[in-house]
């Protein structure tokens, strides 16, 4: 708004100066016309009562001496006006040239923007997703935006796969914060008893808490839970702990899961992911270099063309080690991740919009590892 007000104020000042100059031009033209008219009328005025006996030479000298300054002054005014009109004509040409340059620059910016955006879309259109055990052309492979949607779903699957281990760590780290219902599930999954009372779950919780340190608790849990990943009920119980506490734990814990998931998928689909994010980074950098106020069209258009799946990919990219503080700051500057707030089902533990907004803030404000 300040930029617009300054521009309007400058226009008003220019118009005021123009009005003053136009007034000067009109005044000089009128004055010159009066002087010329007076010089034409002067001979009859000065000779109407002049005696015929006087020398004609003296008469001419008298008229010439009286009128020469007026005629000369009119000539000066006319000469000034000629130079002034030339000056105005030059300014008009310069203004038209500058305006044309601005229009050309704006056109070049728009052409560059749409070309970069088209490249971004083409990368998705040409993307093919298939699991490593499938052969090319398999009926199970997906392409284009369907492939992107499949890839986005894998992020959630990768994080969910790590949740049982996270549940173990949380049991060892913050057992007092975990709800009793989770201890009940663990008890049922690690014993053959189908029926028990809540006192048994309370006893298990107290036993883990009394171990004192996370190291002691971890050793106890190794004996209680073991390393049997085939116990589906136990994995489900540990996952439920992770899901319940996921957005309450320190962000570093979640960040490690994001990084691991991104790196695993990058190892298989790095060609697409790397190409897309580099293209996007250049596009965002291009937009943010345009002065504020002039880049609003580009920002709004970019946000309107990005699919929800693309914004989720950008979220995970920003949470990974492949991004940097600069690009995260630019993404935050143009609010590029606002579009994922309607897609909470695509994230682990189905966060609310409030939690997801907070998570976006964590991701975009994190610092690069030194």
pLDDT digits (tens, 9 = 90+) for 127-178: 998 776 544 545 578 899 999 999 999 999 999 999 999 999 999 999 999 9
Residue 4 pLDDT > 50, yes or no?
Answer: no
Q: Which of 298, 332, 300, 299 is nearest to 315 (CA)?
A: 332
pLDDT digits (tens, 9 = 90+) for 313-361: 999 999 999 999 999 999 999 999 988 988 999 999 999 999 999 999 9
- pLDDT confidence bin for 196, thresholds 50/70/90: low
Distances (CA, A) of 87 to 15, 93, 125: 17, 10, 56
CA dist 72 and 58 (Å) reads 21
Partner residues linked to 143 by β-bridges? 128
Boundaries of every domain in the chain: 2-47+62-105, 162-245, 251-365
Which residues have CB under 8 Å from 308's CB, separation 6+? Answer: 339, 340, 342, 343, 346
> Between 162 and 52, where is the model more confident?
162
Average pLDDT of the residues of the chain: 81
Is residue 167 a contact partner of residue 238, using CB atoms and an 8 Å limit?
yes
Residue 5 pLDDT > 50, yes or no?
Answer: no
pLDDT digits (tens, 9 = 90+) for 270-311: 999 999 999 999 999 999 988 888 889 899 999 999 999 999
pLDDT of residue 303: 93
pLDDT of residue 7: 46
Query: CA 62, 48, 55: angle at the middle one, nearest 5?
Result: 45
CA dist 64 and 6 (Å) reads 55
pLDDT of residue 9: 47
CA dist 242 and 234 (Å) reads 13
Exposure string for 159-181, b = 16+ CB within 10 A, e = fewer: bbebbbebbbbbbbbebeebeee
pLDDT of residue 233: 85
Average pLDDT of 95-123?
78
pLDDT of residue 156: 94
Q: Which of 284, 345, 352, 351 is nearest to 314 (CA)?
A: 284
pLDDT digits (tens, 9 = 90+) for 134-144: 445 455 788 99
CA dist 35 and 71 (Å) reads 7
Partner residues linked to 142 by β-bridges? 129
């Amino acid at each position: 708004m300040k930029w617009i007000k300054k521009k309007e104020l400058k226009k008003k000042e220019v118009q005021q100066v123009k009005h003053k100059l136009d007034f000067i031009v009109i005044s000089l033209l009128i004055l010159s016309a009066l002087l010329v008219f007076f010089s034409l009328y002067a001979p009859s005025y000065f000779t109407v009562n002049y005696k015929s006996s006087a020398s004609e030479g003296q008469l001419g000298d008298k008229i010439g001496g009286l009128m020469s300054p007026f005629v000369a002054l009119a000539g000066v005014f006319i000469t000034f006006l000629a130079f002034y009109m030339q000056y105005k004509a030059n300014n008009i040409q310069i203004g038209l040239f500058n305006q044309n340059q601005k229009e050309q620059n704006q056109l070049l910016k728009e052409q560059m923007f749409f070309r970069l955006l088209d490249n971004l879309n083409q990368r998705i259109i040409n993307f093919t997703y298939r699991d490593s055990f499938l052969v090319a052309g398999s009926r199970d492979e997906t392409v284009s935006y369907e492939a992107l949607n499949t890839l986005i779903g894998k992020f959630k699957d990768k994080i969910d796969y790590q949740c049982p281990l996270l549940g173990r760590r949380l049991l060892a780290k913050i057992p007092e914060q975990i709800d009793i219902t989770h201890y009940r599930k663990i008890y049922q999954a690690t014993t053959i008893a189908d029926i028990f009372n809540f006192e048994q779950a309370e006893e298990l919780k107290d036993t883990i808490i009394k171990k004192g340190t996370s190291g002691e608790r971890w050793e106890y849990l190794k004996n209680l839970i073991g390393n049997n990943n085939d116990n589906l009920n136990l994995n489900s119980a540990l996952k439920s702990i992770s899901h319940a506490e996921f957005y309450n734990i320190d962000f570093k814990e979640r960040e490690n899961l994001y990084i691991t998931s991104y790196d695993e998928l990058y190892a298989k689909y790095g060609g697409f992911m790397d190409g897309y994010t580099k293209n996007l980074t250049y596009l965002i950098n291009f937009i943010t270099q345009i002065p504020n106020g002039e880049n609003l069209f580009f920002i709004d258009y970019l946000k309107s063309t990005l699919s929800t799946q693309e914004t989720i990919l950008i979220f995970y990219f920003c949470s990974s080690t492949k991004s940097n503080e600069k690009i995260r700051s630019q993404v935050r500057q143009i609010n590029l991740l606002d579009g994922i707030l309607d897609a909470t089902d695509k994230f682990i533990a189905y966060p609310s919009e409030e939690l997801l907004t907070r998570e976006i803030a964590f991701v975009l404000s994190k610092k690069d590892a030194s």
